[in-house]
Amino acid sequence: MRNLLMKVNYDGTNYDGFQTQPQGNTIQDRLEQAILHLTGEELKITASGRTDAGVHAYGQPFNFTTSSRIPLERWCLALNARLPQDIVVTEAREVPLTFHSRRGAKRKTYRYTINGNRFPDPFQRRWQLHHPVRLDIPAMQQGLTHILGTHDFTSFASRRSTKASHVRTIFEAHMEVDRSMCRPSSLDQGVIQTYITGSGFLQHMVRIIMGTLIHVGEGKIDADHVAEILAACDRSAAGPTAMAKGLALWSVEYDETESESFFL
């Protein structure tokens, strides 16, 4: 048996998230179907984590064991020929049988994209939340600093969360603003990218953080009130859940030895 570790990019617009669902319309379902068509094996893949319906990913790791002897260099092209065009496998490595994509993940980064220009970008509409009303970006950046560190993130977790503990660690969080598409002499604010890196994330956690920060940007919540929302450990204290389409799993990191060996 071989344990293969791969990376997949996908546009999640038309799917019910990564993890398999009864209706069979998930990224996992499509990948397992492609492997079945390629090797004849009915198997279950293990991913680095879940994504919600409508959420995207760049290079999400997943692994599975197979008895197939297909050479590594052929796997990506062979699977992509059997996958929809909005799902693309980009890398394949053979790893020890003990490797587990989810348990081995040390850091995950999500990116949330807001188009702050007056008009939406028709070419990026599936990947951006359009917010034409002016936002106080410095206030949002100030609010973002309050989530750094190890906290109980119950206020920023879905009420449906079944996790025994809502304690998570956020290592880094920052915003970047790209004004290259702003029209001269306009009120365009550009494309606002928020990157959040943590040890792990709860259901809807990043989207609720972003919904809260948008309220900060709109002047509905004071930036420093984010600390009080976090301390409340009460979902009703936070802002709304931001739309899924603006969210993408940006990267997943393993320890230095593993990352050097697996994805060079």
* Per-residue model confidence as pLDDT tens digits over 54-90: 999 999 999 999 999 999 999 999 999 999 999 999 9
Is 110 a known ligand-binding residue?
Answer: yes
Residue 264 has a pLDDT of 41
- Known catalytic residues are 52
Pairing of strands 87-95, 2-10: antiparallel
pLDDT at residue 201 greater than cutoff 80: yes
Q: What are the Cα distances from residue 244, in Å, to 127, 137, 204?
A: 9, 21, 9
H/E segment holding residue 74:
helix 72-80
Residue 22 has a pLDDT of 85
Q: What are the Cα distances from residue 154, in Å, to 164, 201, 205, 213, 229?
A: 11, 11, 9, 16, 10
pLDDT at residue 232 greater than cutoff 80: yes
Residue 236: band (very low, low, confident or very high) from pLDDT cuts 50, 70, 90 = very high
Residue 262 has a pLDDT of 53
Residue 132 has a pLDDT of 96
* Per-residue model confidence as pLDDT tens digits over 116-130: 999 999 999 999 999
Look over the chain and give the mean of its residue pLDDT values, rounded to a whole number: 95
pLDDT at residue 259 greater than cutoff 70: no
Measured in whole angstroms, how far is the alpha carbon of residue 263 from the centre of its chain? Answer: 19
Helices (H), 110-239: 137-145, 205-217, 225-232
